[in-house]
Amino acid sequence: MTNSAHTLSTRRTQGLRGTITIPGDKSISHRVAILGGLAAGRMTVKNYLCSQDCLNTLRAMQQIGAKITPLRETPGYGVTDFILEGCCMQPQAPAQDIDCGNSGTGMRLLAGILAALPFTSKLYGDASLCSRPMQRIIQPLSLMGADITALGEKPGCAPLLIRGTRLQPIHYNLPMASAQVKSAVLLAGIFAEGTTSVTQPAVTRDHTERLYAHFGIPYTVNGLIISTTGPADIRAKDITVPGDISSAAFWLVAATICPNSDITLLNVGLNETRTAVIDVLRRMGADIRITLRSAEHEGEPYGDISVRTPARLVATDILPEEIPNLIDEIPILAVAAAFAEGTTGIRNAKELRVKESDRIATTAGNLRRMGANVEEYEDGITVTGGAPLHGCALPGYGDHRIAMSFLIAGLNAEGTTTLDTADAIDTSYPGFASHLAKLSR
Ligand code: S3P
């Protein structure tokens, strides 16, 4: 692997070997910062994801009164362990506008709480974030009485001007299977007097609910309906964030598509609303073994995952109900599909069009540039595996998961694969390049 300012390159490897510890889960880290930042008391947070996205959310909480005391810094990576002292539900108005960087999760979840707090705030982000739909949270929060104005050039887009006010509880039917929208409403529900509930069209990641249990916030789950009753107190409680399965996914695929690989990934979150990537890869023939370390550590299961190159990889169809539970893994699963015999179908996934990039177009485009056989549809792609991939210079589109997916594809391609805008990787996986170097040594 080589790198220059904002590009990274890979070449065909002789096989990946070794053991790495996967950095903290991005979704959980955002939620720990928000809930811990509001809580009464001090808590120790360990293995926080110190990526740009999650650091922005932590900074936002500091801007409204949370305090951080660093405990442990990993050189070249950042502060992962710290004491978080919450503002005890007595936040202060931020002195400056709040920068959410590249993070849809950060912006949408923060909007859920800021809508209910007694001051005006403004959330902004980078060009990608300012082109992503925010109406999906403005709509339900407005039904609760929130006063949010989308100031972006594109209608319904950030920056968001939020004039905090008293919110009313609602019942909301989520129009799309989005954990971010569900969580924005449930977070606002902490402040509304009475029961706020959300019906989701399909199961989505349930980290918010698990953290409600951890922090003593009332909630119930009845099938696809999640409810919370406010106003609620939040009690600080120590937490260790498990490793991010969405980051582990790059190595699951890398060791699957690169002959002679045998790797172990330590400390990976195994929440069943996130593990569909493992089910799909196993269906394709991947040799993945899991050692469960805890079925429920501070609310979340985690364990170690070992992966060896399988004898053969075959195509599969990803089921509609699997899509929300592997939505972030689709670019890397599409790379795996390029190495599988037959045609893999990835449909019912139009949400991919509004991620950090239009991931249907960017995944299909980059696979084609490498020589793969891809059909693009409005709601997904099909990939017919078998054509050897060739390395080339590829756009990363400023999208961390596109950059990482195609650097992994380059590990079993002819020649050199170079991704531009590879600095975007830091938004979710600081340390990716050093893990790549360690495993391919
Ligand atoms: C996330 C939910 C998903 C996912 C994102 C993180 C979360 O987005 O793509 O990376 O932490 O709730 P949607 O809820 O918009 O599908």
Question: What is d(CA 26, CA 247) in angstroms, rounded to the nearest whole number?
Answer: 9
Q: Are residues 124 and 207 in the same domain?
A: yes
Q: Which residues, at least 6 apart from 260, have a Cβ–Cβ distance to it below 8 Å?
A: 14, 15, 309
Q: Are residues 127 and 252 in the same domain?
A: no
Q: Which of 185, 219, 240 is the last residue of a domain?
A: 240
- Which residue range is the domain that position 266 belongs to? 2-23+242-440
With cut-offs at 50, 70 and 90, classify the pLDDT of residue 77.
confident
For the residues 242-252, what does the mean pLDDT come to?
98
State yes or no: pLDDT of 121 exceeds 90.
yes
With cut-offs at 50, 70 and 90, classify the pLDDT of residue 198.
very high
Q: Which of 240, 269, 295 is the last residue of a domain?
A: 240
Closest CA to 201 of 174, 228, 170: 174
Peptide bond into 231 cis (omega under 30): yes
Ligand 1 atom at shortest distance from the alpha carbon of 27: 11
State yes or no: pLDDT of 157 exceeds 70.
yes
Q: Are residues 138 and 246 in the same domain?
A: no
pLDDT one-digit tens code per residue, 395-425: 999 999 999 999 999 999 999 999 999 999 9
The three-state DSSP-derived secondary structure of the chain is CEEECCEEEECCCCCCEEEEECCECHHHHHHHHHHHHHCECEEEEECCCCCHHHHHHHHHHHHCCCEEEEEEEECCCEEEEEEEECCCCCCCCCCCCEECCCCHHHHHHHHHHHCCCCCEEEEECCCCHHHCCCHHHHHHHHHCCCEEEECCCCCCCCCEEEECCCCCCCEEECCCCCHHHHHHHHHHHCCCEEEEEEECCCCCCCHHHHHHHHHCCCEEEECCEEEEEECCCCECCCEECCECHHHHHHHHHHHHHCCCCEEEEEEEECCCCCCHHHHHHHHCCCEEEEEEEEEEECCEEEEEEEEECCCCCECCECCHHHHHHCHHHHHHHHHHHCCCECEEEECCCHHHHHCCCCHHHHHHHHHHHCCCEEEEECCEEEEECCCCCECCEECCCCCHHHHHHHHHHHHHCECCEEECCHHHHHHCCCCHHHHHHHHCC
Phi, psi (degrees; rounded to nearest 5) at 196 = -105, 130
Q: Is 183 in the pocket of ligand 1 (CB under 6 A)?
A: yes
Q: Is 107 in the pocket of ligand 1 (CB under 6 A)?
A: no
pLDDT one-digit tens code per residue, 313-325: 999 999 999 999 9
Q: What is the pLDDT of residue 295?
A: 86
CA 411 to chain centre: 24
State the CB neighbour count (10 A cutoff) for residue 192: 23
Q: Is 26 annotated as a binding residue?
A: yes
Rounded to two decimals, the pTM is 0.97
Q: Are residues 189 and 251 in the same domain?
A: no
Q: Are residues 18 and 51 in the same domain?
A: no
Q: How far is the centre of ligand 1, averaged over its atoms, from the C-alpha of 408 (Å)?
A: 22
Q: Are residues 221 and 250 in the same domain?
A: no
Q: Are residues 215 and 249 in the same domain?
A: no
User: 327: domain CATH number?
Assistant: 3.65.10.10
Catalytic residue among 53, 126, 328, 399: 328
Question: How many domains does the chain divide into?
Answer: 2
Q: Is 17 annotated as a binding residue?
A: no
Q: How far is the centre of ligand 1, averaged over its atoms, from the C-alpha of 284 (Å)?
A: 25
Question: What is d(CA 191, CA 117) in angstroms, rounded to the nearest whole number?
Answer: 8
Q: What is the pLDDT of residue 5?
A: 59
Q: Are residues 154 and 273 in the same domain?
A: no
Q: Are residues 35 and 78 in the same domain?
A: yes
Q: How far is the centre of ligand 1, averaged over its atoms, from the C-alpha of 57 (Å)?
A: 15
Ligand 1 atom at shortest distance from the alpha carbon of 31: 11
Q: Is 59 annotated as a binding residue?
A: no
328 noted as active-site residue: yes
State the CB neighbour count (10 A cutoff) for residue 2: 11
Q: What is the pLDDT of residue 296?
A: 84
pLDDT, the chain, mean: 97
Q: Is 205 in the pocket of ligand 1 (CB under 6 A)?
A: yes
State the CB neighbour count (10 A cutoff) for residue 173: 12
Pocket test for ligand 1, best of 26, 31, 32, 180 (most atoms within 8 A of CB): 180
State yes or no: pLDDT of 76 exceeds 70.
yes
Q: Which residue type occupies 383?
A: V
Q: Is 132 annotated as a binding residue?
A: yes
Q: What is the pLDDT of residue 22?
A: 96
Instruction: Check if the beta carbon of residue 131 is closer than 8 Å to that of residue 154.
Output: yes
Q: How far is the centre of ligand 1, averaged over its atoms, from the C-alpha of 441 (Å)?
A: 33
Q: Are residues 260 and 368 in the same domain?
A: yes
Q: Are residues 336 and 314 in the same domain?
A: yes
Question: What is d(CA 232, CA 89) in angstroms, rounded to the nearest whole number?
Answer: 10
Q: Which of 175, 209, 240 is the last residue of a domain?
A: 240
Maximal C-alpha separation, the chain: 61
Q: Are residues 230 and 170 in the same domain?
A: yes
